[in-house]
Structure 1
């Protein structure tokens, strides 16, 4: 069965709660989405705001404070916000990514060559379980033990070897704090899952991002050799052919709306996972626009969706009692779409900067 680009777009939006705002609790949606990209500490708040009907920042802040959700390096070797249960499941599956990086990283691998990584991890664990530490705070503590090694690389090695959780007040709405961390086990008082299933992880990915190819799943997870996983799953998933001829897979009961189902204007968070979790991103963003959204220094800008596809970027500017949303469109949109963008941007400002004088500015730019 073939899927058009529009059908693929609508299927992805439906399970991302981007066709209509959902009524799940924040923790339920976080688990359904298999985590939220969280390199920018506050980005998950905006990802939840655009997907839930009545989300308030304190709801996520409390989950972090109660240790029901947390931030740590997982899929793709990047920081994700996940539920505590998912952290215990995904960390054993994804630790190969950060461990592999220690022998490939151009900056740190040469300084760590020949080091006993198990000894480094054990020392780092002792230090960060005594009290949460930042990477910069680890450096002077590690240097006396390995005086002939670069302390920045040693601290990087600890961060990669350990299940390093960034703890509050980091990422708490309305507060600030350095990215200090401790181990997952110490933070939760529980050990990671002893035998997590990569098959289950892939099925959950399909539920949140499918229909998807093997390459898509590998892009999302950062893991390799997933072809054999999909081969095992073939009896329980449906095969499709994508608009580019690629073989796609999906859960039998997952939503796949018709191509003509309306897609409302949505403002995506910075680093939004829906832009990062496929090898072929054309289902939501044109290739020509990616260079305007994905910057050379690794920033993924907040984007505007019209009719399901990226048409521009949005930035909020706050000064004392004023807040402004600057929307830069990459091509002409209809008057109706412009009005919807302005309304959605005002809602964003009310969420981000309540009580301020709020304005929206629409600009034009050509990819």
Structure 2
């Protein structure tokens, strides 16, 4: 079986994630290809798409949200993702059990004795008037039936697990602020979620396997599970295995992939890229060594924005007024610093509507 080393996996990841070459794609197609963008920080998907698309206009993504073609919702790993409306409807039922288990795992004591079916019915009854509500407002509206209960726990279970809901604009619009308000999918999108397959079939799970590999492969089953948070995918993997090709990584793990998906030559040059907080190019794997050193793995879950140099995390970045500030994690050659500065100028211009191209690259810490 062919062994793919870390650099080969890195270049495959960059290609699948549209980070090797910026793509000429509409924002909607990019969101679909990427299986959504992690979006608990509302402005971060805009940077994520800027780094991936050749001519990205942030107004395009805002229009998709307002036009209900993409939605913000709790999905993979119980985190807020920005996904196409079609994917939200197709995938939500497959995630229901995981979403419920994760919320109940956090609030086991606070929610003890509450019937989730009864709670969901109460929440739907409140939302039936078509009025968007915050999580707190919805929880308080049903709390009379469960007096003395933790309203935060009630709200989390309703919004993140029991009722498929969308976070409504202006939340998530370019440079907009506002709290999260919710409406059920059937109200906001005008369609019900797709049901689970009958007779034990799992079309949604099989679609997830294929879509994940198209955007993240080659990858191990553990990587797929880490990305979506679903434990019940072995049967889906087994069902599509005959469609797939297999490799091994340097640790001996079996890697699955689509036969015709891009696997660039490991020597392919990789441009500097600025990634937003919680980018799935990193979080989409259990073994993240293909893109980030183990010593810096914690950055990927801390909401730290990172810079890729030669395809790997080599620095972090923040914004100070109109200046992009880069802090190296390792020594950068003059050529690397120049490339970081050039890409950083483009990012600064994007974030300021062309008013600034200021970049400041700091010294290596310590």
TM-score (ref. length: structure 2): 0.94
The residue that corresponds to 1:25 in the other structure is 26
Alignment of 1:1-367 (within 5 A): 1-105=2-106, 108-130=107-129, 131-159=131-159, 160-194=161-195, 195=197, 196-291=203-298, 293-294=299-300, 299-318=302-321, 323-366=322-365
Instruction: Give yes or no for contact 1:345–1:360 (8 Å, CA) kept in 2.
Output: yes
Instruction: Give yes or no for contact 1:331–1:364 (8 Å, CA) kept in 2.
Output: no
CA distance in 1, matches of 2:218, 2:145: 50
- Extract unaligned runs of 5+ from structure 1: none
CA deviation string 1:195-238 (max 9, x = no partner): 34211111110000000001000000100132332222221100
CA distance in 2, matches of 1:355, 1:278: 35
CA shift for structure 1 position 355: 4.6
Instruction: Give yes or no for contact 2:348–2:354 (8 Å, CA) kept in 1.
Output: no
Q: Aligned to 2:4, what secondary structure does the other structure show?
A: coil
Q: Aligned to 1:52, what secondary structure does the other structure show?
A: coil
CA distance in 1, matches of 2:315, 2:345: 16
- Extract unaligned runs of 5+ from structure 2: 198-202
CA shift for structure 1 position 116: 1.3
CA shift for structure 1 position 174: 2.6
CA distance in 1, matches of 2:205, 2:344: 39
CA distance in 2, matches of 1:17, 1:72: 23
CA deviation string 1:58-96 (max 9, x = no partner): 000000000000000011111100000000011011111
Instruction: Give yes or no for contact 1:102–1:112 (8 Å, CA) kept in 2.
Output: no
CA distance in 1, matches of 2:177, 2:114: 35
CA distance in 2, matches of 1:47, 1:129: 35
Most deviating of 352-361 and 35-44: 352-361
CA distance in 2, matches of 1:38, 1:365: 30
Query: How many residues in Structure 1 have an aligned counterpart in Structure 2?
Result: 357
Instruction: Give yes or no for contact 1:142–1:151 (8 Å, CA) kept in 2.
Output: no
CA distance in 2, matches of 1:99, 1:240: 35
CA shift for structure 1 position 184: 1.2
CA distance in 1, matches of 2:330, 2:132: 47
Instruction: Give yes or no for contact 1:40–1:270 (8 Å, CA) kept in 2.
Output: yes
Most deviating of 126-135 and 35-44: 126-135
CA distance in 1, matches of 2:276, 2:103: 30
Instruction: Give yes or no for contact 2:38–2:80 (8 Å, CA) kept in 1.
Output: yes
Instruction: Give yes or no for contact 2:43–2:175 (8 Å, CA) kept in 1.
Output: no
CA shift for structure 1 position 165: 1.0
Instruction: Give yes or no for contact 2:138–2:155 (8 Å, CA) kept in 1.
Output: yes
Q: Aligned to 2:110, what secondary structure does the other structure show?
A: helix
